[in-house]
Amino acid sequence: MIGSNSNRIHAPRQKSVKQASWSSLLYRGGDVLFATCIGLICAVPPCYMQTNFQLPAEAAELKLAQAVVPLAPRAINPLTLDLTDDLLDSDRNNLLQAIDNSIQYIRTPSAAKRYPVAGISQDLMERSLVRFRRLVQVSRTAKDLQQAVNREFDLYQSVGRDGNGAVQFTGYYEAVYKASRTKTKEFQYPLYRLPPDFDRWQAPHPTRAMLEGSKRMAGLEVAWLRDRFQAFLVHVQGSARFELPDGNLLTVGYAGKTDQPYRSVGAELVRDGKMRLEDVTLQTLLEYFQKNPQDLVMYLNRNPSFVFFRETNGKPATGSLSQPVIAERSIATDKKIFPSGGIALISTEVPFENPTTGKLELRQVQRFVLDQDTGGAIRGAGRVDIFMGTGDRAKQRAGLIKGDGALYYLVLKK
């Protein structure tokens, strides 16, 4: 939905998933880093926001982290490359909407608490957003926009996880499932509202195993799903859309979570020798639990964290800035170290449908995005999660994003 830290000056060489050192990622970073390596199961965007690690950090701490630094004079400037924003011709309005969402956020007291970041002030970021919006409006082509941005903006680069700017990308999405407002023979697995006395719960909070199906949660059910693993996935994603038996639509979003840590189901299966790390995807996890239903509850309960939901009345998926996230234009990063609402430039591989075969194939892209979300597993300078939209196709595309790339931020020249 959200790593480790490092420092790179030159643009990193793009690596495929097969080329990456998966075993080193697993054991170097533990559960949290592994959770970010297997896509939507463990890249945890909206549902793990607002935990302690995301509280506003002091400016000295942000400077010490050195997560984002001005592009070095000898570094390759991605704005001078032939690769330009691949989506501008088809979704300029979506990009403008994403910018508007960031402008609305940057003018709030919440934004004031998170700035400055890496020497970037709230005022400078606001002026950067406003000017960038104008350039998006008036630029005829993606090349024109890139050249204008290169003239007027400075680039800051994420130092990445390896000291050389290598950033790992994953994708997340908003799910659509069948559900019921009441428990039936078909729908037996609930999602819960935030308990009214939650702010008075004693720490540490109860675990998932202690809460699910307990009397303490009775009467707080917001929706019932037909599959326990689907309900768990909604906990991971943080929001969902449900088709009800009467044909109506029910939407839910994140309302809060316990103080228990997040642990990845995929990591636990790998640790137990049930699956190889390089084979872990949403599909392989689904297949494993279909073949081994007796293991499902045990592995789900190894993640003690528990998420609560609220009805959102059809509201689109919303990120950690309390603004809607826009498909392929919103990213999630660690908000302790990166500029919230900031303009970013990403370079990585994203899946596209081959018009001849209908299959999804990875393609190198370079595009402008807005930093508008975060997640419990998205930590450090080496992690970015791309919001891919709503529904099954978004799910399929999100699950294929897990390669390396580069992350830059754009700041208006002073």
| Residue-number span of the structural domain to which 290 is assigned | 172-259+268-311
- pLDDT value for 81: 95
Over residues 106-140, the pLDDT tens digits come to 999 999 999 999 889 999 999 999 999 999 999 99
Q: Which residue has the higher pLDDT, 148 or 74?
A: 148
Candidates 406, 333, 346; CA nearest to 10 is 406
Tell whether 185 and 156 lie within a shared domain: no
Query: CB–CB of 125/412 below 8 Å?
Result: no
What residues have CB less than 8 Å from 200, skipping those under 6 apart? none
Q: Which DSSP string corresponds to 347-386?
A: EEEEEEE-TTT--EEEEEEEEEEEEEE--TT--STTEEEE
pLDDT surpassing 60 at residue 56: no
Q: Cα(132)–Cα(147) distance, rounded to whole angstroms? A: 12
Residue 217 counted as domain residue: yes
Q: Which one of 251, 278, 311 terminates a domain? A: 311
pLDDT band of residue 315 (cuts 50, 70, 90) is confident
Q: Is residue 379 domain-shared with residue 306, that is, in the same domain?
A: no
pLDDT at residue number 278 = 80
pLDDT greater than 90 at residue 391: no
Indicate if the pLDDT at residue 25 is higher than 50. no
Once rounded to an integer, what is the mean pLDDT over residues 266-293? 91
How do residues 326-336 score in pLDDT, each as one tens digit?
999 999 999 98
Two tokens at 392? 């099954």
Classify 214 in phi/psi space as left (phi over 0), alpha (psi -120 to 50) or beta.
beta
> Residue 215 CA to chain centroid, in angstroms?
33
- Residue-level pLDDT at 194: 97
Q: Residue 412 CA to chain centroid, in angstroms?
A: 26
Strand duo 307-311 + 360-373: pairing: unpaired
- Whole-number pLDDT of residue 30: 31
pLDDT per position as a tens digit, 149-200: 999 999 999 999 888 899 999 998 888 899 999 999 999 999 999 999 999 9
Other Cβ atoms closer than 10 A to 352:
14
Decide the pairing of beta strands 221-225 and 189-192.
antiparallel
Task: Place 404 in a pLDDT band, splitting at 50, 70 and 90.
Answer: very high
- Is 241's pLDDT higher than 70? yes
Two tokens, residue 202: 């004693």
Task: List the structure tokens of 244.
Answer: 């009800």
Range with the poorest average pLDDT among 11-15, 226-230, 328-332, 382-386: 11-15
Q: What is the CATH number of the domain that holds 53?
A: 2.40.40.10
Q: How confident is the model at residue 379 (pLDDT cuts 50, 70, 90)?
A: confident
In a domain, 342, yes or no: yes
Pairing assessment for the beta strands 383-390 and 343-353 based on DSSP bridges: unpaired
Tokens of 347: 């370079």
**In which residue are the tokens 């807005």 written?**
370
Q: How many domains does the chain have?
A: 2
Q: Given a cut of 70, is residue 282 above it in pLDDT?
A: yes
Higher pLDDT residue, 71 or 379? Answer: 71
DSSP calls for 209-247: HHHTT-GGGTT-EEEEES-HHHHHHHHHHS-EEEE-TTS
Residue 180 and residue 305 in one domain: yes
For 169, phi and psi rounded to 5 degrees? Answer: -105, 140
Residue 201 sits in the same domain as residue 229: yes
pLDDT score of 290 more than 50: yes
Per-residue pLDDT at 62: 34
Residues 6+ positions from 225 with CB-CB distance below 8 Å: 177, 178, 179, 187, 189, 190, 191, 231, 234, 242
Question: Within this chain, do residues 54 and 187 fall inside the same structural domain, yes or no?
Answer: no
Same domain as 343, residue 226:
no
**One domain for residues 241 and 355:** no
Going from the C-alpha of 59 to that of each of 48, 65, 69, 119, 384, the distances in angstroms are 24, 10, 15, 9, 22
Look at the block and give the residue holding tokens 């701490």: 61
Q: What is the CATH number of the domain that holds 283?
A: 2.40.240.50
- Poorest-pLDDT segment among 129-143, 282-296, 372-386: 372-386
Q: Are residues 101 and 30 in the same domain?
A: yes
> pTM score, two decimals?
0.73
Residues 6+ apart with CB under 8 A from 283: 399
Can you give the pLDDT at residue 376? 65
pLDDT at 115: 95
**Cα 323 to Cα 307: distance, rounded to the nearest angstrom:** 20
Strand pairing report for 167-180 and 221-225 = antiparallel
Domain assignment present for 12 = no
Read out DSSP for 41-82? GT---GGGTTSGGGSPPPHHHHHHHT-EEEPPTTS--GGGSS
Apex CA 238: angle with CA 206 and CA 349, to 5°? 130
Instruction: Confirm whether 195 is domain-assigned.
Output: yes
Q: Tell me: do 59 and 150 sit in the same domain.
A: yes
Within a domain: residue 64?
yes
Same domain, 77 and 33: yes
> Does the structure show a pLDDT above 80 at 375?
no
Mean pLDDT of the 274-293 span = 89
Q: Are residues 341 and 220 in the same domain?
A: no
Residue type, 404: D
CB neighbourhood size of 217 (10 A): 18
pLDDT at 331: 97
Decide: helix, strand or coil at residue 316.
coil
Separation between Cα atoms, residue 27 and residue 350, nearest integer Å: 26
Question: Which residues, 6 or more positions from 338, have their beta carbon under 8 angstroms from its beta carbon?
Answer: 67, 68, 117, 158, 371, 381, 409
CA distance 135 to 375: 30
Residue 390 lies in a domain: yes
* 206-210, 311-315, 376-380, 406-410: the lowest-pLDDT one: 376-380
Answer yes or no: is 13 within a domain.
no
pLDDT band at 262 (very low <50, low <70, confident <90, very high): confident
pLDDT at 33: 28
Terminal Cα distance for the chain, rounded: 33
Does residue 228 sit in the same domain as residue 110? no
- ∠ CA 99-102-104, rounded to 5°: 110
Average pLDDT along the chain: 84
**Residue 10 located in a structural domain:** no
